[in-house]
Amino acid sequence: MTNYIVVTGGVLSSLGKGITSASVAALLGNSNCRVSMLKIDPYINVDPGTMSPLEHGEVFVTADGGETDLDLGHYERFINSNLSKRNNFTTGQIYQTVIERERRGDYLGKTIQVIPHITDEIVRRIKAAGKDADILVVELGGTVGDIEGLPFYEAVRQMKRQLKHKMFNIHVTLVPYISVADELKTKPTQHSVQELKRIGITPDMLVLRSEKPVPKEMRKKLSVACDVEFESIIEATDAKSIYEMPLKFFDNGILHPIARAFNYDELKPDLREWKKLVKAILEPRREVTIAFVGKYLELKESYKSLIEALTHAGAHTDCKINFRWADSEKLLDEGVEKTLTECDAILVPGGFGTRGIEGKIAAIKYAREHKKVFLGICLGMQLALIEFARNVLKIKDATSQEFDAEAKNPVIYLIDEFIDQTGNKQIRTHCSQFGATMRLGEYECNLLENTLMSKAYGGEKKIFERHRHRYEANAKYRDQFEASGIVVSGEAKGLIEAIELRDHPWFVAVQFHPEFTSRLQSPNRIILAFIENALISAEKRGK
Catalytic positions, written as ranges: 378, 513, 515
- Residue 388: partners with Cβ closer than 8 Å, 6 or more residues away: 368, 481, 484, 485, 486
Task: Report the C-alpha gap between 99 and 117 in whole angstroms.
Answer: 10
**Rounded CA gap, 298 and 320, in Å?**
23
Alpha-carbon distance of 62 to 446, in angstroms, equals 20
Q: What is the C-alpha separation between 444 and 160, in angstroms, rounded?
A: 42
d(C-alpha 464, C-alpha 318), whole Å: 27
CA angle 352, 358, 362 (to 5 degrees): 120
At 539, the amino acid letter reads: E
CA–CA gap between residue 78 and residue 490 (Å, rounded): 29
For residue 52, what is the enclosing H or E element? none
Compute the distance between CA of residue 33 and CA of residue 324 in angstroms, rounded to an integer: 40
Half-sphere exposure of 92 (CA within 13 A, CB side): 11
Beta bridge partners of 235: 208
SS (H, E, C) 308-331: HHHHHHHHHCCEEEEEEEEECCCH
Q: Which of 124, 112, 116, 142 is nearest to 44 (CA)?
A: 142
Q: Which residues contact 428 (CB under 8 A, 6 or more apart)?
A: 414, 415, 416, 417, 418, 436, 437, 470
Local structure of residue 494 (DSSP, 8 states):
T
* E strand or H helix at 28: helix 17-29
C-alpha Rg value of the chain to the nearest Å: 25
For residues 171 and 227, the answer to whether their CB atoms sit within 8 Å is no
- In degrees, rounded to 5, the angle at the alpha carbon of residue 472 between the alpha carbons of residues 467 and 475 is 135
Question: In 3-state terms, what secondary structure has residue 340?
Answer: helix
Question: What is the DSSP secondary structure assignment for residue 110, as one 8-state letter?
Answer: P
Cα within 13 Å of Cα(87), Cβ side: 27
Phi then psi for residue 464, to 5 deg, are: -130, 120
Residues facing 324 on adjacent strands: 291
